[in-house]
């Protein structure tokens, strides 16, 4: 089947199988491998992307469902020299260990700050609750989001 979607601002027209997931399309067809597969069951959030402003697990979105929508992946955020405030805060707070959860974490944080630039601690915790991290113990990650919230303000 043919689908059209906007990925990181670029229009893409693709021929895909209906069984494919958005995750497969991003990783295997577009080679955007920053989106990770940790469980394939919606549990871990490593595959989080932003679709039309909302976070979704790309392992739980079929190709057809994504047709016509706009998707932001980690590759669509900052670059070296122009990091997104969330990426910068993750670096500075030491919120990254193995890094496998990091792209999903960064996107969940970005979606939150886009919606609400001044989230409280509780709101941050809720927004990040769909992303598992096995390395950090979450503390630095939550601090990084708070820090990024401060930076977004300026």
Partner 1 sequence: MYYIRPQTLAKALEAGEEPGMLYLAGGTDLILKLRRREVQARGLVDLQAVAELRQIRAGGDWLEIGAMVSFADLLNNDTAAQEARALWLACSSMGAPQIRNQATLGGNLANCSPAADSLPALLVLQAQVRLLSRSGEVLLPLAEVLGRTPLWQPGTLLAGFRLPLRAGVSGFAKLGRRQALAIARLSAAVALREENGRACGVRVAFGAAGKRAFLSLDLAEELNGLVLDRGFTELACRQAKKVISRALGERASAPYKKEAVAGVVREALRTMEFVTSGEHADVDRKGGRGNED
Partner 2 sequence: MNDVIGGTVGGRVLREDAWGKVLGQAAFPADVRREGQIYAVAVRSPHAHARIRGLRLDEARKAEGVVAVLTSADVPHNGHGVLYRDQPVLVADHVRMAGDPVVLVGAETPAQARAAAGRVEVDYEVLPGLFDPEEAMKEEAPALHPEIHGGSNIVYHLPVYKGDTAKGWAEAEVTVERDYQTQMLDHAFLQPEAVLAYVDERGHLVVEVATQYAHYDRGEIAHALGLKFNQVRVRTRSVGGAFGGREDISLQIMAALMAWHTQRPVKMENTREESFYSHSKRHPMRMHYKTGATRAGKLTVMEARIVGDAGAYASWSPNILRKAAIHATGPYEIPHVRVDAYAVLTNNPYTGAMRGFGAAQPVLAYESQMDLLARELGLSPWEVRLRNIYRAGSETATGQVLSGSVGMEECLKAVKSYLGEVSGR
Q: Which residues bind ligand FES (CB under 6 A)?
A: 37-40, 42-47, 57, 59, 96-101, 133-136
- The answer to whether the Cα torsion of 127, 132, 137, 140 is positive or negative is negative
CB of 109: closest distance to partner 1 in angstroms? Answer: 11
> Can you read off the two tokens belonging to residue 78?
């900052």
* Contact partner, 72, from partner 2, ligand FAD, ligand FES, none, Cβ < 5-8 Å per class: none
At CA 23, angle to CA 36 and CA 78, rounded to 5? 60
Looking at residues 61 to 90 of the shown chain, list those that interact with partner 2 (rule: CB under 8 A): 73-75, 77-80, 83, 87-88, 90
Task: Report d(CA 4, CA 12) in Å as an integer.
Answer: 6
| Backbone dihedral angles phi then psi of residue 85, each to the nearest 5 degrees | -55, -35
- Which one of partner 2, ligand FAD, ligand FES, none interacts with residue 80, CB within 5 to 8 A by kind? partner 2
Residue 127 binds partner 1 (CB under 8 A):
yes
Which of residues 45 and 76 has its CB atom nearest to ligand FES in the complex?
45
Residue 56 exposed, middle or buried by CB count within 10 Å (0-12, 13-18, 19+): buried
CB atoms within 10 A of CB 69: 17
User: 56 CB contacts (<8 Å, ≥6 apart)?
Assistant: 22, 48, 49, 50
Q: Kindly state the tokens that stand for 135.
A: 């390395």
- The residue count for binding ligand FAD (CB under 6 A) is 2
Task: Select the span of 36-44, 80-88, 133-141, 142-150 touching partner 1 (CB under 8 A).
Answer: 36-44
**31 with 67: CB under 8 angstroms?**
no
User: 99 or 120: whose CB is closer to ligand FES?
Assistant: 99
Binding residues for partner 2 (CB under 8 A): 19, 27, 31-41, 44, 46, 73-75, 77-80, 83, 87-88, 90-92, 94, 96-103, 106, 132-135
Interface residues with ligand FAD (CB under 6 A) are 42-43
């Amino acid at each position: 089947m043919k689908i059209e979607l906007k990925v990181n601002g670029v229009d893409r027209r693709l021929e895909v199988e209906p069984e494919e997931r958005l995750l497969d399309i991003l990783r295997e067809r577009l080679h955007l491998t920053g989106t990770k597969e940790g469980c394939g069951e919606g549990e871990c959030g490593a595959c989080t992307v932003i679709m039309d402003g909302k976070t979704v697990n790309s392992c739980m979105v079929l190709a057809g469902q994504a047709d016509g929508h706009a998707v932001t992946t980690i590759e669509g955020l900052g670059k070296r020299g122009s990091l997104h405030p969330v990426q910068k805060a993750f670096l500075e707070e030491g919120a990254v260990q193995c890094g496998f959860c990091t792209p999903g974490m960064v996107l969940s944080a970005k979606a939150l700050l886009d919606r609400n630039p001044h989230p409280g601690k509780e709101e941050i915790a809720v927004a990040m609750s769909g992303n598992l991290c096995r390395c950090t113990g979450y503390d630095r990650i939550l601090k990084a989001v708070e820090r990024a919230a401060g930076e977004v303000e300026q």
